[in-house]
């Protein structure tokens, strides 16, 4: 019998084109996604070298990071943003790459459209010039973010040079409590192991809690793997995975699908396979989470207080104090009851239809609090259309929430969707870095449910008292 | 393809003793709209370096003329976390830094830096503290980063070695890039692609 192997190793090893002494592995990439911000310099590189794209069928493009979320049908007003999107158009046309441009029914955040179109499948290697490419790992594949030089490598050769990372398994078992969502699971994990705790590792999420989650909830978890430093995170595919993929546009169809599922069923970590690090988490320990600081590791269960200075190691005190000063918070304080100015429901972490449904279910018949601005930015045109088909748009409109056009929006504030200086935003996105949502903006990362309750009450709340 | 190389550097260093510096601080998203690799240095650490009205913040290290000639950036643990934006490495390179020293680097940033001939040199927490101390005592102190021998040496004689994989070391010292190597595997890749269609 062969040595027990992890799912990660199985997929990685099956994609090594060349393993040469003194070189990183040349890893074949099945699926490559590109967007307007991190691809132009890569295409320039191809032009300078005078080479074409290796296999145009393996790259898919969309415009998401830098697009307006209001009046998307009109030309982009801001000149630099417009130029960047036009450059993507030209590059895709020149090199023959499929582009889901603004106005296309498949346009959306790159990590939302890949899965919803069935481009994302188990067993694949997937890269994109965006760190949240880890999202796709929810389908049992190796997916990770890359820099622009690496985008150029993939365009030129369909390969990337990489050293194999170490393996970590995070097992979560038990039943989730009331009001606790997959977003809370991942914020909890990051708060336990820190924003750099998984650097150098690729994570497999396992356990019965994970198995009980929908694909969309699994994507939220894999999405934030990078926030603890991991290049990616993956979940072994199962019936939930196959049912999600079945019938999607670019998924195998009919007999080919059944055949694919047969192969996909073999994609699991063997009994007895070893990981470089193992972490076990009890789902019952997880509360609704919220971040208080300026990296995603700075999170607490909602019934806890912002850590006191005495809880912080000496070497981290300066960074900690700087972070709290930025956030305008005090050590030891409760966040429950803290007034907020903005609520952002969106991003590749939480802008799928289930997220919008969960928000709508809670806000139905309620009104947003005075003085709070609420933006709901769907992850894709398909999500937006689905929301409208289900009447969620009417629920949001009645509550005073603004349902916008798809894009990355206030997750990174590249377009005009910025949180003003000094204002507090409860955000379903993935990063609370200084200035992430706009210069001097202050971000509380949380689940869509916590965001919905904040929108209605105007404060950070323990959602368990509201659902 | 690339003509740039890195072998050895003796230079002064700019200290940034802050942990978990993310790529949004190195270059905020609103400055990622350019479609070329040049010019990002002007916005390196933009929001720490400039006020909202674009006037320089006097207390930020890059606005201190003492460090105007620094070619080495010394930063706290876990440098370059967050976004995969290579613009962070471009900004550091464009500003004129050739080396970043820290006691821990985020993975994607490390790759991006190496692909742009910026050397991310990882040292122990203790040695990092020694470097900050040396700069504090004399802001003009010279630090020598020797890639061939994989050592960092301070003016006071203290020295520590750093790790780098042999492949990337060769690339940096000879000006190779990854595409040069991958293109040499093109026939293997074609066959692999066909077999996995």
DSSP character at residue A66: T
Helix H or strand E segment including A12: helix A7-14
pLDDT-derived band at B197 (thresholds 50, 70, 90) equals: confident
Q: Are B179 and A157 within 8 A, CB to CB?
A: yes
Hey, is the C-beta of B158 within 8 angstroms of any chain A C-beta? no
- Which residues face B78 on adjacent strands? none
Pick A433's closest partner by Cβ from B24, B167, B188: B24
Which residues fall within 8 angstroms of residue A204, CB to CB, at 6 or more apart?
A6, A7, A8, A167, A168, A169, A170, A233, A234, A235, A236, A269, A275
Give the C-alpha distances (Å, rounded to integers) separating A445 from A229, A278, A326, A448.
17, 26, 15, 10
Among the partner residues B86, B167, B181, nearest to A38 by beta-carbon distance = B86
Span between the terminal Cα atoms of chain A, in Å: 51
- Asked if residues A139 and A215 have their Cβ atoms less than 8 Å apart, the reply is yes
Whether the pLDDT of residue B154 is over 80: the answer is: yes
Residues of A in contact with B24 (CB under 8 A): 412, 431, 433-436
* Inter-chain residue contact A231 with B107, CB threshold 8 Å: yes
**DSSP designation for A330:** -
**pLDDT at residue A2, rounded to an integer:** 81
User: Which residues 105-124 of B are in CB contact (within 8 Å) with A?
Assistant: 106-108, 111-112, 115-116
Run of H or E residues at A383: helix A381-389
The per-residue pLDDT for range B114-151, each reduced to its tens digit, is: 999 999 999 999 999 999 999 999 999 999 999 999 99
Structurally, what CATH architecture does the domain formed by A166-285 represent? 3-Layer(aba) Sandwich (3.40)
User: Above 70 in pLDDT, residue B1?
Assistant: no
- Nearest residue of chain A to residue B197 (CA atoms): A30
Query: Of the candidates B78, B107, B192, which has its C-beta nearest A195's C-beta?
Result: B78
For A99, the enclosing helix (H) or strand (E) is strand A98-100
Q: Which residue ranges in chain A fall short of pLDDT 50?
A: none
Cβ within 8 Å, pair B25-A434: yes
Please give the Cα distance from B35 to B95 (Å, whole number): 18
Taking CB atoms and an 8 Å limit, are B106 and A196 in contact across chains?
yes
Question: Cβ contact (<8 Å) for B32 and A37?
Answer: yes
Q: Give the residue ranges of DSSP H helices in A281-379.
A: 317-327, 353-363
User: Does A348 count as an annotated binding residue?
Assistant: yes
**Rounded CA gap, B151 and B172, in Å?**
15
Query: Among A165, A208, A203, A167, which residue's Cα sits nearest to residue A186?
Result: A203
- Answer yes or no: CATH 3.30.499.10 is held by domain A296-465: yes
Mean pLDDT of chain A: 97
In order of B22, B104, B112, the CA distances from B109 in angstroms are: 10, 11, 5
- Where are chain B's structural domains? 8-195
Q: How far is CA A406 from the centre of its chain?
A: 15
Residues pairing with A162 in the sheet: A25
Dihedral, CA of residue B190, residue B192, residue B195 and residue B196, to nearest 10: -110
Residue A143 corresponds to which tokens in the numbers above?
């997916």
- DSSP strand pairing (A25-28 vs A16-18): antiparallel
pLDDT value of position A5: 98
Contact A158 B193 (CB under 8 A): yes
Nearest CA in chain B to A38: B85
Strand partners, A375: A344, A402
Residue B43: both structure tokens together: 């916005």
Extents of the domains making up chain A: 7-162, 166-285, 296-465
Give B 82-101 residues with CB within 8 A of chain A: 82-87, 89
User: To the nearest whole angstrom, how far is the Cα of B5 from the nearest Cα of chain A?
Assistant: 16
Q: Give the pLDDT confidence of A82-127 residue by residue, as tens digits.
A: 999 999 999 999 999 999 999 999 999 999 999 999 999 999 999 9
User: Can you tell me whether residue A429 is helix, strand or coil?
Assistant: coil
Q: Do B107 and A200 touch (CB under 8 A)?
A: yes
Q: Note whether A7-162 and A296-465 share their fold.
A: yes
DSSP letter string, A222-257: HHGGGGGT-SEEE----HHHHHHHTT-TTS--HHHH
Choose, out of B179, B188, B190, B192, the residue to mutate when testing the contact with A (most A CBs < 10 Å): B179
pLDDT (0 to 100) of residue B3: 73
Per residue in B7-66, pLDDT (tens digit) is: 999 999 999 999 999 999 999 999 999 999 999 999 999 999 999 999 999 999 999 999
CB contact under 8 A, A157 and B18: no
CA distance A60 to A106: 11
Supply the DSSP symbol for A283: G
The span from the CA of A370 to the CA of A458, in Å, is 7
* Two tokens, residue B95: 């500003």
Q: Which CATH architecture has domain A7-162?
A: 2-Layer Sandwich (3.30)
Q: Are B81 and B135 in contact (CB under 8 A)?
A: no
Q: Are A150 and B111 an interchain contact pair (Cβ–Cβ within 8 Å)? A: yes
Residue in A441, A25, A303 with CA at minimum distance from that of residue B52? A441
Query: What is the Cα–Cα distance from A149 to A137, expressed in whole angstroms?
Result: 22
- Proportion of chain A in helix, strand, coil states, percent, rounded to 5: 40, 20, 45
The Cα A231–Cα A121 span in angstroms is 18
At B2 the pLDDT is: 54
Partnered with residue B102 across adjacent β-strands are B122
Kindly list the residues from chain A whose CB atom is less than 8 angstroms away from the CB atom of residue B18.
318-319, 322
Angle between helices A353-363 and A381-389 (to 10 degrees): 40
The reported pLDDT for the residue numbered A1 is 59
Q: How do A402-403 and A373-376 pair as beta strands?
A: parallel
Chains A and B form CB pairs within 8 A to the count of 180
The closest CB to that of B35, out of A18, A26, A87, belongs to A87
pLDDT at residue A89, as a whole number: 98
Q: Which of B1, B108, B184 to mutate to test the interface with A (most CBs of A within 10 A)?
A: B108
Q: Report chain B residues whose CB lies below 8 A from the CB of A65.
A: 29, 32
Cβ(B182)–Cβ(B192) under 8 Å? no
Beta strands B72-75 and B99-102 are parallel
What is the third-level CATH fold of B8-195? Aconitase; domain 4 (3.20.19)
Judged by CB atoms closer than 8 Å, whether chains meet at A131 and B166 is answered as: no
| Alpha carbon distance B149, B156 (integer Å) | 18
Nearest residue, CB atoms, B167 vs list A23, A316, A431: A23
């Amino acid at each position: 019998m062969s040595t027990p192997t992890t799912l990660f190793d199985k997929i990685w090893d099956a994609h090594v084109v060349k393993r040469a002494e003194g070189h990183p592995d040349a890893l074949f990439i099945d699926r490559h996604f590109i967007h307007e911000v991190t691809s132009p310099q890569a295409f320039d590189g191809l032009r300078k070298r005078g080479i074409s794209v290796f296999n145009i069928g393996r790259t898919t493009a969309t415009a998401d990071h830098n697009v307006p979320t209001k009046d998307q049908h009109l030309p982009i007003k801001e000149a630099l943003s417009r130029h960047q999107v036009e450059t993507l158009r030209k590059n895709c046309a020149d090199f023959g790459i499929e582009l889901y441009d603004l106005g296309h029914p498949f346009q959306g955040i790159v990590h939302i459209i890949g899965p919803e179109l069935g481009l994302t499948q188990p067993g694949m290697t997937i890269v994109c010039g965006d760190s949240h490419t880890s999202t796709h790992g929810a389908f049992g594949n190796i997916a990770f973010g890359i820099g622009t030089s690496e985008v150029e490598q993939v365009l030129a050769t369909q390969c990337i040079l990489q050293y194999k990372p170490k393996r970590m398994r995070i097992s979560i078992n038990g039943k989730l409590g009331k009001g606790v969502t997959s977003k809370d699971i991942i914020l909890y994990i990051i708060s336990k192991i820190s924003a750099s705790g998984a650097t150098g590792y690729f994570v497999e999420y396992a356990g019965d809690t994970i198995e009980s989650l929908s694909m969309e909830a699994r994507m939220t978890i894999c999405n934030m793997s990078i926030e603890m430093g991991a290049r990616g995170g993956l979940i072994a595919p199962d019936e939930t995975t196959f049912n999600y993929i079945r019938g999607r546009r670019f998924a195998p169809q009919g007999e080919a699908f059944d055949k694919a599922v047969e192969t996909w069923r073999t994609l699991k970590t063997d009994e007895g396979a070893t990981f470089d690090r193992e972490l076990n988490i009890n789902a019952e320990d997880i509360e609704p989470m919220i971040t208080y600081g300026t990296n995603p590791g700075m999170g607490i269960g909602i019934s806890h207080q912002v850590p006191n200075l005495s809880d912080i190691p000496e070497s981290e005190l300066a960074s900690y104090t700087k972070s709290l000063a930025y956030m305008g918070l005090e050590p030891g304080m409760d966040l429950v009851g803290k007034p907020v100015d903005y609520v952002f429901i969106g991003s590749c972490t939480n802008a799928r239809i289930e997220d919008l449904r969960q928000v709508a279910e809670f806000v139905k018949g309620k009104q947003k609090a005075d003085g709070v601005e609420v933006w709901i930015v769907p992850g894709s045109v398909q999500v937006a259309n689905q929301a409208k088909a289900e009447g969620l748009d009417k629920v949001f409109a009645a509550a005073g929430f603004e349902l916008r056009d798809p894009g990355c929006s206030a997750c990174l504030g590249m377009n005009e969707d910025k949180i003003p200086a000094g204002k507090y935003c409860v955000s379903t996105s993935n990063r609370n870095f200084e200035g992430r949502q706009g210069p001097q903006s202050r971000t509380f990362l949380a689940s869509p449910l916590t965001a919905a309750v904040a929108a209605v009450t105007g404060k950070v709340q323990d959602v368990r008292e509201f659902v | 393809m690339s003509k740039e190389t890195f072998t050895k550097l003796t230079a002064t260093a700019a200290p940034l003793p802050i942990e978990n510096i993310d790529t949004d601080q190195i270059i905020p998203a609103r400055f990622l709209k350019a479609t070329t690799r040049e010019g990002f240095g002007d916005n390196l650490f933009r929001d720490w370096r400039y006020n909202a009205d674009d006037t320089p913040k006097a207390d930020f290290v890059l606005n201190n003329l003492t460090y105007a000639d620094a070619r080495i950036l010394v930063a706290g643990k876990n440098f370059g976390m967050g976004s995969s934006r290579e613009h962070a490495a471009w900004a550091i390179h464009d500003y004129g830094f050739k080396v970043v020293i820290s006691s821990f680097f985020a993975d994607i940033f490390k790759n991006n830096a190496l692909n742009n001939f910026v050397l991310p040199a990882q040292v122990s927490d203790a040695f990092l503290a020694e470097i900050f101390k040396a700069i504090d005592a004399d802001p003009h102190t010279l630090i020598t980063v020797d890639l061939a021998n994989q050592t960092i040496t301070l003016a006071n004689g203290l020295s520590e070695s750093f790790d780098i994989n042999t492949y990337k070391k060769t690339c940096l010292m000879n000006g190779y890039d990854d595409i040069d190597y991958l293109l040499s595997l093109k026939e293997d890749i074609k066959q692999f692609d066909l077999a996995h269609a």
